[in-house]
Amino acid sequence: MHAIDFEVFKNLYLAIAEEMGVTLCRTGFSPNIKERLDYSCAVYDADGETIAQGDHMPVHLGAMPLSVRAAIDSVPMQRGDIVVLNDPFQGGTHLPDITLVSPVFVGKDKRPTFYVANRAHHSDVGGMSPGSMPVAREIYQEGLIIPPILIAKNGAIVKDVWSLILANVRTPDEREGDLSAQIAANRVAERRLLDVVRKYGKSRAVGFAKALQDYTERVVRAAIAKIPPGVYEFEDALDDDGFGSGPVAIRARITVKGGRATIDFTGSAPQVTGSVNANFAITLSACLYAFRCLVDEDVLYNAGVARPLTVIAPAGSIVNALKPSAVAGGNVETSQRITDVVFGALGKALPDRMPAASQGTMNNITLGGASPTRFAYYETMAGGMGGRRGLDGLSGVHTHMSNTRNTPVEAIEHYLPVRINQYALRKGSGGAGASRGGDGIVREYEMLTDVSVTLLSDRRERGPYGAQGGKPGAPGRNTLIRDGRDERLPGKVQVSLKKGDRLKIETPGGGGYGA
């Protein structure tokens, strides 16, 4: 294969995934899609293995192949079909993340040559609280569970399924718009893939897809081979599960040998009552992301990343929870702590390369109410990045498993009956060190009507760890301001706020690097 052709196909497949994302952004209805870009898109081969994915959400992308596999195994797909699912125990992440999978048939073939899929976070999918990110005890409280089923057949919407989904959410018009945008993204990708096949031929398109996966595998193996052989361990913990569990430990033991690595989470805490349980897809996704970060070359993030890795996550543990565990926070909070733990272990092997811990939480907030019209809103909040050798951490950014934008104040106030009184960097929250950790942010919401608020956040008890003698970043803080009095709120809580109440969120700073 000629190197120039190889580069052409690499960028063709990447461009298709990126164009899917642009389509979703421009046609989506909710601020979560249009403003925060809380979605992910990818192209898969005939076996459901990733060829290329957009530069979207790491927590989505590493897990999505398991949903594609579940769709292939569960539903015989024909031309024009689209499968919808969100089940976290079939490759999903948490219930608000809805995935659409489409087959791509070439010519008169009876078997798909490609699949395309996208995953988008919907601001409400039912459940016990607006926004579908409750402090829950079981998954049935978190919203509508969708197994792999057809939402489109022969190019037409399956109206019964469409109606069933919209009947179980608080904001059906917005959900309909976002689902329609997801369908449009898949159809755009299908057209682009068929264009590639028409221009270059099926055998070349398929051959280069496989070559791209194999090349990524070789590059990742080479990166692992640069790690000194050995066994490296690290432990960190979530603050709690929202139901009084106390610290929830996550332990990783990484064994590196001969261009392969095994990440073993044996010894991590058992699954808990609250919603910080992570399914296996989340744990796998965090491990793939961490090892992809070791690669300096510009290679596609595809199925080749996983081939040199073995992930051991004991069933029934916090990193491989079993149904019917609540999992809404596992996707957003535990994924971050798994990343911190894997990076911490790799820091024992590569102290000059691995940074201090970043904020380690997504600071999830959901707002919902019925005045003047029914609304449900969700956002994650930025914080501090960990310091690195020779470089301070960035301030006010999303890190690791989150890769969204910060929602602009104008967008929040346009969509919701709230006022943002303060939005600023949290000066001095980054950990001290030769390279300082980045600062978190401060965001203060004033309620202009009665609002139900749910917070799922972490790093409120202990700040992100420093590295190589650097100091920890400052822990985050949630404060309710009512009638002139401040009330400290726990990291995981649901509260009913009245008009005039204010909620102040201060996000963690990153850890410092070096004494």
d(CA 358, CA 31): 26
* Edge-to-edge strand ranges of the sheet holding 375-379: 375-379, 364-369, 451-456, 492-497
Half-sphere exposure of 403 (CA within 13 A, CB side): 14
Half-sphere exposure of 425 (CA within 13 A, CB side): 15
d(CA 400, CA 208): 29
- Please identify every stretch of the chain with a pLDDT value under 50, giving residue numbers as ranges: none
Residue length, the chain?
515
Angle CA(295)–CA(100)–CA(379) in degrees, nearest 5? Answer: 70
pLDDT single digits (tens) 408-464: 999 999 999 999 999 999 999 999 999 999 999 999 999 999 999 999 999 999 999
d(CA 303, CA 131): 32
d(CA 16, CA 9): 11
d(CA 308, CA 180): 37
Residue 248's CB is within 10 A of a number of other CB atoms, namely: 24
According to DSSP H, which parts of 332-390 are helical? 335-349
Tokens 């790690």: give the residue: 227
pLDDT of residue 191: 97
Q: What is the 3-state secondary structure (H, E, C) of 450-484?
A: CEEEEEECCCCCCCCCCECCCCCCCCCEEEEEECC
Backbone phi and psi for residue 310, each to the nearest 5 degrees, phi listed first: -125, 125
d(CA 444, CA 424): 9
Sequential DSSP letters for 482-496? ETTEEEEE-SEEEEE
* Edge-to-edge strand ranges of the sheet holding 156-157: 50-53, 39-45, 114-121, 97-104, 82-85, 149-153, 156-157
Return the structure tokens found at 199: 């221009």
Of 168, 166, 55, 46, the closest CA to residue 111 belongs to 46
Are the beta carbons of 248 and 354 closer than 8 angstroms?
Answer: no
Residue 321's CB is within 10 A of a number of other CB atoms, namely: 29
Cβ neighbors of 478 (< 8 A, separation 6 or more) are: 455, 457, 460, 488, 489, 490, 491, 493, 503, 504, 505, 506
d(CA 163, CA 158): 9
Query: Residue 151: what residue type?
Result: I
Pairing relation of β-strands 364-369 and 375-379?
Answer: antiparallel
Sign of CA dihedral 307, 313, 314, 320: negative
Of 359, 363, 350, 317, the closest CA to residue 491 belongs to 363
d(CA 457, CA 439): 17
pLDDT of residue 341: 98
Query: Residue 149: what residue type?
Result: I
pLDDT of residue 1: 63
**pTM for the model:** 0.96
pLDDT of residue 163: 98
d(CA 448, CA 501): 8
d(CA 56, CA 124): 21
Tokens 């052409």: give the residue: 8
